[in-house]
Each structure stands twice: as structure tokens, then as C-alpha cells.
Structure 1
Amino acid sequence: MDKHPEPPAAAIRDLNIEARVPIHLDSSSTSYYAWKTYFNLVLLKYYLTEHIDGSVDGDNMKGDPEWSAIEAMLIRWFYQTVSKDIFHTVVAKDDIACAMWTKINALFTDNKLQRLVFLQQEFFGCHQDNSTIDEYCMRLKMLANELHDISNKVSDDLMPSTLTAGLNEDFNNAASNLTLLRSPPFNASSRTSSLRSAG
């Protein structure tokens, strides 16, 4: 299979990365899974993965103006979509895009035990409070995705039971009835109607 050529730097120079990666990565948040997913989609779409996957020796390519221009844009994209804390943690003179990508990802994957404890506390302590059903379900789903990303998949049985445990009093009847369903739906289009009908 022929390799797709990467686009020239001019073709992606004016790309609005914040529109394509609408996640601001913060070390204290649970946005890593979504941030990485959005970024991977951009890298795949524009055939830029070789800049960050280590398949090409970026240090040997520094003399190539086109390659260097794309490298600079990628690093700028990383800086634009991370918090100041992360920026100051990973910023380094003369880093190539692959090194920067690796350092950012390592912040969230190297210390899996600490991250696992944090995410599990967030997941099991999650309550609806003043949020809507959709917002509450999305928060749980996001936490489940983060746990899955560090090889701790939330089981299909655990997801609905955790959801019902954190519902507001207004949904007490729905919570009781929802646990009787064999496989309560958890997608965006059906979760609200299911809870209402269960009540």
C-alpha cells in the first residue's frame, strides 16, 4: 500500500487546532482520553503521525525546511491545547514533536497507579447534584473512558449501578426501576428517556 504524502506546511498553517481539538488538557482534570482521541484524529487526517510515532528520526530531518515547519506547527498545537502547568512541565528548547508528544502522554500514563486511584475516587464519588441527567451521564462516561485508557475497563454491570447511586432524589423511583433492566442504555440519545420512563 502506497504511503500517503504529508500535506505541505502551507496547507495546515492556518488550521484552527482549538476547533479540531476542543479539549484543554489539564493535569487535574479527566480530559486526557478525549484530548488524545481528538489529536489522533487530526494527525491521521493530515498524515502527520510519522512526526509523533517515532517511525522517522526527527533529529535527522531538522535540515528539511518543510519538515521543520510542520514540526513547529505541531509543537505549537500541543502548547495551545494544554494548561500552563503542563506547558511549563514539558517545554524544552529544541525538542522535536515526537519528544513533546511523548512527554505530554507520559504525564498521564507513567504513574498509572496514582491516576487509577484518582479516577476511581472520581468515578465512584460522582453525583448528579445540580447537573442535568445528560451532563451527569456524560461525566460518568468520560471517567469510564479514562479508566479504560489505563487498562481498567468499567464493567457493563457497574456502569448503571454507579449511575443510579449518584442520582438526585427526584429520580429515586427511576433509580430503583433502572436496576431491574437487563442492560440499561447508556448512549446520549436514550439515557434521559430511559430514566424518565423508568420513573
Structure 2
Amino acid sequence: MDTNPVSSPRSSHDGDGVLRDAAGDAPGNGILRDAIVPDATAVAAAPVPPALRAFPSSVLQTIDMRHHVPVILDLHGGNYTQWCRFFNTVVGMFGMREHILAEAAPLRRHRDPEWDMVDHCIVHWLHATISPELVDAVMHHEDTAPTLWSAIESIFRGNQLPRAIYLDAEYHAVVQGDLTIMQYCARLKSSTDQLRDLGQNITDTQQLFNMLRGLSARYHHAIPHLTSRVLLPTFLQARSFLLLEQHRAE
């Protein structure tokens, strides 16, 4: 006896959802009786989750942002990437992403007192995590979170191509000198992060070649070992190998 509920060419569905045979009658032997096919109109739409709200301003006002963003953004520090990632993480963690989006903020400002207080908290956090010189450059008497965020971003991402040209030249002129392997690699990585912020992607292989190019003479013996492999090591793998060589030499 075939109990497969899948319709055969001899069966069809009527409007009431009951499986019927070619004659239009429901099965009389009890098989598939009351087998109801879900109607599209009867399927309830999945509930839409409510919009996330930021933490209450009374809680946000007690947070010391410098514990969450351990770097101070500086015009000459080359740490915009680090600062931006830290700050973005905190904004997302407390559900305040909309406050720094220029297209979202005007819809709520001045209509929701709680929104305004949270906005002021973010402005305070921004001022507390950038250098005094940068505060002077971006501060305005009507600062809001999105306008201040955009002003900071424009300083570090404006004139991208000319800045990328100069930074790329500096990057390819870096040599190890008296730096340790960790210090040397950290300096190279900082430069690649800044270039990425300016829209210039540096591949892992390019990072590897540039690191090997600038190595001190005392590590030149490691270059053939790293480059003679069929599959080149990554930048991080090469750094680990050179750190081991540094430890052995000490």
C-alpha cells in the first residue's frame, strides 16, 4: 500500500487544501485523510524583531570610554585604523550605530530627548579619545555625533590618492635597522593599515616581499629559506620564523 503523501499525476489539490484523486473525491480508505496543504494566506509572516535601542543615557554617562578605546587618535600618530576599530566596536556593543549614521540621525534628533542625551554621550566620548590638536580641528559649537564622526573621518581619509602616494613611498623605504623583528613588523603593518584606509589594498605576498627587502643583514640567511618553498609563507608565518631566529641569535 502506497502511503507516500506526495501527489501523483492522478491526484490534485482542491481549494480547500484536501488531497483528492483525479475524480475529485478525497480518498475513501482513510489514507491521506485530512492531509491539509498549508495555504499561503494562512502562513503567518515571521515576526519582525523590534529595532534595537541604545543603552539608557543614564548608564552611558557612567562609562569611561578610555577603558574601551585605549588609544588616543592623533594627527601624526598613524593610529586612525586602531582607533576607528575600537570605537566602532564600542558603538556596536552598546547599540548606538545609528547615532553616527548621518542619514539616520536627523529623523530622531530633537524629537526624542533620550536620543539627544545618547548623542551627547557619543560626542563626549569622541572628544575624550582624540588629541587636543585634533579636537581644535573638528570642534564646532553645534557638534552632533554624526557630524563630528564625519569631520574626523574626512581629515584622515580626505585627499586619498596624494596621501596614498606619499605613504606608499614611505612604506617601501622602511628598513629594520636597529629595530627588533616585532617592532619592524609592527611598523610595516601600521603602514599597510593606513594604506588600506586610503583605499590601497596591500596583498599578503606584497607585505612578505617588502618585509624581506628591508631586513637587517643579520637575518639575510633566512630569506632563501622563506622564499624557496613551493607555497610562500604568509606575513605572519614569516614573522614567527624570524622571531625564532632572533631568539636563537640571542
TM-score > 0.5, shorter chain as reference:
yes
* Pair 1:107 & 2:155 matched: yes
Corresponding residue of 2:74? 26
Q: Secondary structure at the match of 2:50?
A: coil
Q: Compute the TM-score of the two structures, normalised by the length of structure 2.
A: 0.71
Q: Secondary structure at the match of 1:18?
A: helix
Corresponding residue of 2:232? 183
Report if aligned partners of 2:91, 2:97 keep a CA contact under 8 Å in 1.
Answer: yes
CA distance in 2, matches of 1:144, 1:192: 15
Matches within 5 A, 1:1-199: 1-58=49-106, 61-62=109-110, 64-181=112-229, 182-187=231-236, 190-195=237-242, 196=244
Deviating beyond 4 angstroms after TM superposition, the runs of 4 or more aligned structure 1 residues are none
Offset from partner CA, 1:92-119 (integer Å, 9 cap, x none)? 0011111000000011112102320232
Q: Compute the TM-score of the two structures, normalised by the length of structure 1.
A: 0.87
CA distance in 2, matches of 1:63, 1:94: 17
Deviation larger for 118-127 or 74-83: 118-127
**Number of matched residues?**
197
Could you tell me how far 1:87 is from its partner in structure 2?
A: 1.0
Report if aligned partners of 1:134, 1:191 keep a CA contact under 8 Å in 2.
Answer: no
Q: 1:193 to 1:56 in 2, by over 3 A?
A: closer
Query: For structure 2, which runs of at least 5 residues remain unmatched after alignment?
Result: 1-48
* Bigger relative CO (Cα 8 Å, ≥ 6 apart): 1
Q: 1:38 to 1:166 in 2, by over 3 A?
A: same
Larger radius of gyration: 2
Which residue identity does 1:15 align to in structure 2? I
CA distance in 2, matches of 1:183, 1:15: 46
Q: CA RMSD in A?
A: 2.2
Could you tell me how far 1:145 is from its partner in structure 2?
A: 1.9
CA distance in 1, matches of 2:140, 2:107: 15
Query: For structure 1, which runs of at least 5 residues remain unmatched after alignment?
Result: none
More helix by share: 1
Q: 1:118 to 1:77 in 2, by over 3 A?
A: farther
